[in-house]
Amino acid sequence: MKRLGWLAFAFFLAYFIFLIRQDIIDYAELRGQREKLSREAGRQAVSTRQLQRRLGKLQEAELIEELARTRLGLVRRDETAYKVIR
């Protein structure tokens, strides 16, 4: 009878381990995903700060004028523009 008790105990222990095995695997996967998302959130926060800084600079008249001159080739009144062709 004692042997049957140990056998039943071993069976229930193996069954319990089998049941929680998947939970342990899921926990490890979720932990990895949390770390990955945390890193991504950090990168997004840095990108957001950079874009906000750039937006602040774009609201300054000097930068707008510089961009208009370099990208669009605009000139002021009474100013002569020269284009260098290589």
Query: pLDDT, tens digit, for every residue of 1-60?
Result: 788 889 999 998 988 888 888 888 999 999 999 999 999 999 999 999 999 998 887 788
CB distance 74 to 68 below 8 Å: yes
- Any idea where the domains of the chain sit in the sequence? 41-74
Is residue 40 packed enough to be buried (19+ CB in 10 Å), middle (13-18) or exposed (0-12)? exposed
d(CA 46, CA 48) in angstroms, rounded, equals 5
d(CA 36, CA 61) in angstroms, rounded, equals 40
Q: For the chain, how far is it from start to end, CA to CA, in angstroms?
A: 100
Q: What is the pLDDT of residue 38?
A: 96
CB distance 86 to 80 below 8 Å: no
Q: What is the pLDDT of residue 74?
A: 80
CB distance 44 to 50 below 8 Å: no
Tell me the pLDDT tens digit for each residue of 64-76: 888 888 888 788 8
Q: What is the pLDDT of residue 29?
A: 95
Q: What is the pLDDT of residue 16?
A: 87
